[in-house]
Amino acid sequence: MNKRLYKLMDWAFIEEVIYSECSHPQDLLGPHAKGQTTLLQAYFPGSDSVVVRWKDRGETGDFCETKMEVADDDGFYASLLPTKDPGAYTYVVTYEKRQEDGRTLKKKVLRCGDPYRHRDILREADIKKITDGTCTDARSILGAKTMTLDGEAGTLFAVYAPSAMRISVIGDFNSWDGRTHQMCRRGDLGVFELFIPGVKEGDRYCYEIKYRNYEIHRSADPFASEISSDNEFISVVGGRINGALKPLSSGKEKKCCAVSIYQADPYRYVSGDKSAFENMTDLLAGVCSECGYTHVSIGNILSSSRRSSDKTISYFAVDTRLGTEEQFITLVKTLHDAGVGVILDWVPSYFASEESGLYRFDGTGLFEHFDPRQGIAYDIDACLFNYSSEFVSNFLMSSGFGLVDRFGVDGLKVIGLARMMYLDYSKTEWVPNIYGGNENIDAIAFIKKFNTEIRKKYPGIILIAEDSSLHPGITDPVSDDGFGFDYKQNEVFFDDYRNFIGMDPLFRGPNLHCIADAFTYAFVDDYVLPFAGKENTEGIGPVKELLPGDDAAVESQLRLSLGYLFTHPGKKMLGEMFDASYSKILSDLNRLYETEPALKCHESDPECFEWLSNMNEEQCCIAYVRKTDDPEDMLVVIVNFSGIEQNFQTGVPYEGKYKEIFTTDDKAYGGSSSVSRTVRKATDKRLDGRTQSISVKIRPQSLIIMKFIPYTEAELEKVIEQRIRNYTPIKKNKK
C-alpha cells in the first residue's frame, strides 16, 4: 500500500467496520474527496480481489479499471482514484474457490454498485415525522422501497431502531452476511438507512441487529410489504400497488341503515390449488348476494404467527399463507361490485412474541413495554404495545390507515379493546397508572386519536370494537368524551342467548328472565350482535351441538334464533355455520331488515323497542314491539321457545289489524307451516296492561312477525259503530 493511501486510512474505524459494530459506516466506506482525488474504501468479507470500474469525466470519457489495494486480509480494500467525481462506479469482486464450513465453494465474480455512494437519502423532515405522533403513513418513509438514484436501480432500506448498536441488511444478495451491508445511522434521530444497488422487487431480506450487549438477532422488517411463507422473519422487497380501491361507504347516517355482516375466517378457505383469497372470491360475493348481507367481516389477513392467526408478526404484510396482496384486492373489488362492503379485523392490542418479529426489536422494548408487567400478556403468550411511545402510535396509525388506503375496505374491527384499556387485564402483577388506577390512559388516548383521524379522511368508515369490558362510552363520539366507535360487538348477547337456547324447552319457561335481562344493557351502546361468530367458543362447543332435540328440532331452533337476532335491536353479524341451506330464510330476513324501518332505524334507542309479554313462564312465549315514530311502521314479534304448539294471546299497543308477514316455521325454510293469511283484528280484551289484544296460534320453537295495519276511515266508522252498538242500550219499540 502506498504511503499516501496508508496515511489516509483510519485503522481504528476500519476495525469497527470489520467487527460489525459500526453505526455510521458511510463516514468510512464509499467515496471521500481528498483534494483532486477520491479515496474509495470498500469491505467485502472473504473476497480475494476487487477492481473498481469507473468513468473518467475528462476529455476521453472512457471507463477506467483500478485494482484496489488490500488494507486488511479480512476483505477491506482501498484505492485513491485520480478524480474528484468517479460517477456511478462498479465493483468487480472475485471470490476464489475455497473451503468453508466443510463445503467447497466455487469461484465467483460479483459485480455491484457501492451502497455507500448515496447518503442522507431520507429527508430529515420526514424522519422527524416518525416520532411526532401524527404520521399516518410511516410506511412511505420506512421499510424497503425500490427506486433509481443517479442512474442506479436498487432498493432503499430504512428502519427505526434508536437503541441498536449496529443494523445490517442481509439477504440472498449478500449471502446473508451481516458484515457486508451495515446501515447508516442518521444522526440522533434513531433511523438507519442504506440504498443497495441491484436489489429488486421480490428479493428476500431481513435485518441483523447487534444489541448494545453484543447479542445478535435477526428480525423481519416491521414495515415489510411481504413476509416469506417459508420463514416468519424473512421479508420480501415489494412494490407499491397502484390504483387502490376506495371504500363503498359514504358519509351518510349509518344509524338508520341495515348492517348485516357475514363473518368469514380466511384460514378456513385455505384448500385446493387456489389460495384462500381466490376461494373467497369465488364464494363470498355469491353467498352475500344470495343471502342479502350488506358486509363481510374478514378475520386478520396480516402476516401472523404460525401458532395463532390473531397474533400479528407484520402489521403491513398480507399473510402469504392466504394469498397475495393483489389477490386480496381482487376479492375486495369483487365484493364491492356485488354491493358488499368489507370489514377487516385489526389487532392493535397485542402482537406475536416471536423474537423474529417486533419483540425486543432493537434490544429494548421499542414496540412493547420493557417492563414485562406492562409489556407481556402471559395468558396468551403475546406482547403488549407501549402506547406512550409516539413511534408506536405512528406505527399503528399507519397500519390501520394502510388497510383502508391500500385495499379500500369499508371498516375495521378492533380486536382486544379491553386488553388495551386495562392495565390489569388478565394479570396477577401489573403497574397502575399515574393516578393509581387500572386504566391504560395512553391506550385510550391512542384509540380516540386513531378513530378521530381516520374518520376525517373516511367519514363513512365503520369502526367496530370487540370489547368484553363494561367501560362506558365505547360508541359515544370522541367530542363527548367517548371512544368514537360506531358499534361495539355485543359478546354478552351471544353468550346469554346461547346459554338460554341450549336449555331443554321444559326448563326455559322459568328462565325467561335471561331474555329480559339482556335488555338491561341492550341500549347502553350501539351494538353489533354476533351469532356463532366463533364456531367453538371458550371450549363450550359449536352452537348447533348445544341445542336439544332431534335434527328437526335443532333446525327449528336455529331458524327461531335467526328470527330473534333480526328482530332484536342491534346490527347483525352471523358466522359461517349458516351455509347455503339457510340462504332462503336469511334472504327474507335481510329483506325485511332493509325494508322495514322499525327493524333498522334507531336500533340503539330504547324508544324503538317495547315489551308486550316477557314473563309467561307457563307457555314459554314472549312478545315485543319494534317501532318508529310512525305507528304504521310498527311490528309485533311473538316467539314460542317451548316444544309444543301454543295458542298465545298478547296485548297490543293499538286498536287495528295485525297481519302475519313472516314465520320461521315456513315450509320454504324447512318448517311445517306457512305465513297465515288471516288478518287479526285487535279485540277489547285487556291484557299485558293494554286495552287491546290479539290471539295467535304459533308452532313450537318458532317466531312470527306481524305488521300493524291501521283502520281506514271507513273501517274505523264501522268499528266505532259496532262498539257503540255493543256498549250502548238501544230503545226498543214496544207494542
Give the tens place of pLDDT for each residue, 621-650: 999 999 999 999 999 999 999 999 999 999
Q: Domain residues of the chain, as ranges?
A: 3-112, 124-236, 608-719
CATH of domain 3-112: 2.60.40.10
| pLDDT at res. 57 | 67
| pLDDT at res. 542 | 75
CATH (one of 1.10.3720.10, 3.40.47.10, 1.20.1250.20, 2.60.40.1180) for 608-719: 2.60.40.1180
Query: Shortest CA distance to 404 belongs to which of 126, 158, 136?
Result: 136
Cα of 309 vs its chain's centroid, Å = 11
Over residues 484-497, the pLDDT tens digits come to 999 999 988 988 99
**What mean pLDDT comes out for the span 136-146?**
93
| Residue burial 290-328, b: 16+ Cβ < 10 Å; e: rest | ebbbbbbbbbbbbbbbeeebbbbbbbbbbbbbbbbbebb
Q: What is the pTM of this model?
A: 0.92
Q: What torsion do the CA atoms of 673, 679, 683, 686 make, to the nearest 10 degrees?
A: 50
Which residues, listed in sequence order, are joined to residue 160 by a DSSP beta bridge? 191
CA 171, 400, 388, 439 torsion-angle sign? negative
| pLDDT at res. 536 | 47
Neighbours of 696 (CB within 10 A): 21
- The pLDDT-based confidence of 663 (bands split at 50, 70, 90) is very high
CATH (one of 3.50.50.60, 3.30.465.10, 3.40.50.1980, 2.60.40.10) for 124-236: 2.60.40.10
**What mean pLDDT comes out for the span 264-290?**
93
Over residues 395-421, the pLDDT tens digits come to 999 999 999 999 999 999 999 999 999
Q: Is 70 exceeded by the pLDDT of residue 130?
A: yes
| pLDDT at res. 241 | 57
Is 514 or 230 the better-scoring residue by pLDDT?
Answer: 514
Write the CB contacts of 499 (distance below 8 Å, at least 6 apart in sequence). Answer: 514
Query: For a pLDDT cut of 70, what percent of the chain falls above it?
Result: 96
Q: Is 50 exceeded by the pLDDT of residue 109?
A: yes
* Helix (H) / strand (E) containing 124: helix 124-129
**Mean pLDDT over each residue of the chain, to the nearest integer:** 91
Q: Which three cell numbers stand for residue 419?
A: 386488553
- The pLDDT-based confidence of 728 (bands split at 50, 70, 90) is confident
* Helix (H) / strand (E) containing 591: helix 583-595
Q: What torsion do the CA atoms of 317, 323, 324, 330 make, to the nearest 10 degrees?
A: -120
| pLDDT at res. 228 | 84
Q: Is 60 exceeded by the pLDDT of residue 122?
A: yes
**What mean pLDDT comes out for the span 301-323?**
90
Over residues 381-401, the pLDDT tens digits come to 999 999 999 999 999 999 999
